[in-house]
Amino acid sequence: MRNKYSIFSLFKNALTYHENWQRAWKDPPPKKEYDAVIVGGGGHGLATAYYLAKKHNVQKIAVVEKGWIGGGNTGRNTTIIRSNYLWDASAGLYDHALKIWEGLSQELNYNVMFSQRGVMNLAHNLQDVRDLKRRTHANRLNGIDAVYLNTEEVKKFCPIINTSQDIRYPVLGGTLQRRAGTARHDAVAWGYARGADEMGVDIIQNCEVKGIKRSGDTVEGIETTKGFIKTKKIGVVAAGHSSVVANMAGLKLPLESKPLQALVSEPVKPIIDTVVMSNAVHAYVSQSDKGELVIGAGTDDYISYSQKGSHQIVEGTLNAILELYPIFSRMRMLRQWGGIVDICPDASPILSKTSIKGLYFNCGWGTGGFKATPGSGDLFAHTIANDEPHKLNAAFNLNRFVSGDLVDEHGAAAVAH
């Protein structure tokens, strides 16, 4: 039985210089066979395993991860959580996740530091204003909190924004979702890993998938660097490397993998207590609890798995940041990184069965998957356990690229994709 984290356990462990904390998860060798194997130990994969064990009573589950858990995009994103998407299908999906976020720390007994500090999206031209107003109405019809702010209200909500009308892209207004915010990305992976491990899920790190074995149109197991693992159900949650795993099974996906960059500044005292995003000038910024400014840049337009983005992408983002926040002009950037994101033609994810029985894909989250982590895990677990999608992820099937029933969030969400 796992010890609960509490003020008392903290006190008790302080007495022994924090040297006797129980391990948060085990490090087992793979068994010969599992009921389900999840490929990818990021937030989405660990959440999938957690909900498979918790809600669907699947007994033997493994998560295989080629590096270490939470070491990919989960551990290096800008941690923004919001659900103010335009289309009904997206609103349902992302608000489902947001509702789980609201109780996640309590459920996992792990502080994911979910902070509902609000997310503001800025409008810089008349089309932005129209789009954001339309989205505000659409959000309200879907029961998602949203308000439209004029320039003065934007300034009042975040006083450091330069709202003068003589800048190149003046702020004409914005939307605000107050329930939105940020969370501590590592804690999400660790919390789900600890929760899954407690229910008997084997988390196998440094274990890369090398092949998918199938007989006819049914999966039989996976070849890994730690040997063959037999299983009837494989859930692939491999983010930027989804196509690589799909190609092993002879499948093609409608994805392109591109480097997405983010950067953080040196830590400073609290200066911005919300998240501000601007699609038109491509700049978004928030401040971490450590005091660093967390800044998201864009993707390069070419396919690459190199985890290196181009310098001009960062330069463009910082130009925009400086015009909107002149107060940051002397900030120094501490570090920058690039992660590989898998982007769908319609900028919406895929949570779906495939033409191969027992093979499921959860991919295509592109530049904004972190916010959906709990909802994605919950719905993907449902899809794997029942061999059919939940009504909230039915629209996000792979077949939509054949039927033409796309969930076109490109630009529609008024944020960077």
Q: Where does this chain bind another protein (CB under 8 A)?
A: 241, 243-244, 247, 252-257, 300-306, 308-312, 342, 345, 401-404
Give the other-Cβ count within 10 Å of 218's Cβ: 11
CB of 85 to another protein, least distance (A): 21
Exposure of 398 in the CB half-sphere (CA atoms within 13 A): 18
Question: Three-state DSSP class for 130?
Answer: helix
Say which amino acid occupies 398: L
Q: Could you tell me which residues come within 8 angstroms of residue 276 by beta carbon, excluding any fewer than 6 positions away?
A: 119, 120, 122, 158, 161, 284, 285, 286, 324
Name the CA dihedral angle for 365, 93, 358, 252, rounded to a multiple of 10 degrees. Answer: -30
Handedness of CA 307, 313, 317, 319 (dihedral sign): positive
CB of 405 to another protein, least distance (A): 11
CB of 77 to another protein, least distance (A): 21
CB of 40 to another protein, least distance (A): 15
Q: How far apart are CA 275 and CA 400, in angstroms?
A: 33
Question: Is the CB of 77 or the CB of 310 nearer to another protein?
Answer: 310
Question: Is the CB of 160 or the CB of 303 nearer to another protein?
Answer: 303
Length of the chain: 417
CB of 257 to another protein, least distance (A): 6
CB of 238 to another protein, least distance (A): 11
- What would the two tokens of residue 19 be? 């040297």
Give the other-Cβ count within 10 Å of 225's Cβ: 11
CB of 403 to another protein, least distance (A): 7
Question: Is the CB of 7 or the CB of 402 nearer to another protein?
Answer: 402
Question: Is the CB of 270 or the CB of 404 nearer to another protein?
Answer: 404
Question: Is the CB of 206 or the CB of 312 nearer to another protein?
Answer: 312
CB of 337 to another protein, least distance (A): 15
Residue 71 near residue 241, CB atoms below 8 Å: no
Handedness of CA 120, 126, 131, 134 (dihedral sign): positive
Question: Is the CB of 57 or the CB of 403 nearer to another protein?
Answer: 403
Q: How far apart are CA 27 and CA 404, in angstroms?
A: 44
Residue 234 near residue 37, CB atoms below 8 Å: yes
Question: Is the CB of 171 or the CB of 248 nearer to another protein?
Answer: 248
CB of 289 to another protein, least distance (A): 32
Pick from 98, 93, 122: nearest CA to 362: 93
Question: Is the CB of 12 or the CB of 311 nearer to another protein?
Answer: 311
Residue 151 near residue 171, CB atoms below 8 Å: yes
Question: Is the CB of 68 or the CB of 305 nearer to another protein?
Answer: 305
Q: What is the DSSP letter of 392?
A: T
Q: How far apart are CA 368 and CA 296, in angstroms?
A: 11
